[in-house]
Amino acid sequence: MKALDKLLGGQQNLIGIVLLALLILVVFPLTLDAFRLNMVGKYLTYAFVVVGLVLCWGYGGILSLGQGVFFGVGGYCMAMFLKLEASDPISTKIQSTPGIPDFMDWNQITELPWLWQPFHSFTFTLFAVIAVPVLLAFIIGMALFKRRVGDVYFSIVTQAIALILTVLIVGQQGLTGGVNGITDLKTLLGWDLRGDGAKMILYFINAGLLFGCIFIGRFILASKLGRLLMAMRDKEERVRFSGYDVASFKIFVFCVAAAFSAIGGAMFALQVGFMSPSFVGIVPSIEMVIFAAVGGRMSLLGAVYGALLVNYGKTYFSESFPELWLYLMGGLFIAVVMYFPNGLAGLWDSHGRQALAKVLRRTPVVKAAEPEQNKPKAEAKILETQP
């Protein structure tokens, strides 16, 4: 029982998990129409990335400005499988080369490239969704952390990697679909993904995987590794002098964050029905850091709220104020940073306790009436006053 309480993070965190589960699994499905619910499902795919950022940035002190790379790689792996399924010879019989994706036919490619061949298998696709981004994160981590590249230099390198990958995807139009990406993803193993019922099922699968990632994150933070991550964030040299391999711990948590981001990217491709380089580059990577900052970079649950709030704000402001929404979003971010430096998750600690204390001080204390038998009798008082 004590171990479970430690894993959940105490009673307050347990209440937060229950409230978040009620919001995502009950309130949203019952109150939103199919279109809006699908949009919330898209927002939740970003939350996977932010949960990973809480681990590597909030607790590990590793600020990655290239998480869109792993989100995009996971999304492209899933999109490649879905596109091959949609490009069967019968559906593409009007092409000059049936059986290959349409953008390859437009670029006069007559044979399916070797890179696409394994993605005929759904099992391989599921493996690649996790393995390819984790392998990429491992290579980046080995190249940088082993050489003690950190802080702002690491952030700049990850940002450069996001830019490089975007340029590669756009430049290889015949292989990746170019700037348009991989579109028109309709079915998964023969199951039509475009219906409202299918989108509802995908929404709950998405939510289940997200809560799974949150519990994995809680497990890591409740272990000795979680304490080491915070120690490395605050006093890295002291941890290194204590005999720990700091680089290996950083590589591990960076790979975990990459895996979470990749799962989000794969679910995005399923939920939305396309994948493009606009979700891979510098801008989406920085936006994901903003989600973490707004929600609270030290809170796994706050990460989800941050992703939901910021993306809902983008949607609402862009629909209601199409000419001003960028300024309104900028003002929201500035206000959060200035007045809530610990994000939404730190709102209670920074403002809630003070407000509650003020309310309690202003509330008059009413004493309970004494029982009749405890009151002294009038005759006794008179006798006591007589000489």
Convert the pLDDT of each residue in 162-208 to its tens digit.
999 999 998 888 888 888 888 888 888 888 888 888 889 999 999 99
> Is residue 95 within 8 Å of residue 88, measured between CB atoms?
no
The whole-chain average pLDDT of the chain stands at 83
pTM: 0.84
Least confident range of 197-206, 251-260, 282-291, 359-368: 359-368
Please tell me the predicted confidence (pLDDT) of residue 385. Answer: 43
Residue 110 makes CB contacts below 8 A (sequence gap 6+) with: 96, 97, 100
Better pLDDT: 323 or 355: 323
User: In terms of DSSP bridges, do strands 187-188 and 191-192 run parallel, antiparallel, or are they unpaired?
Assistant: antiparallel
Convert the pLDDT of each residue in 97-116 to its tens digit.
777 888 887 887 888 888 88
47: closest CA among 263, 322, 323, 283? 263
Convert the pLDDT of each residue in 231-249 to its tens digit.
888 888 888 888 888 889 9
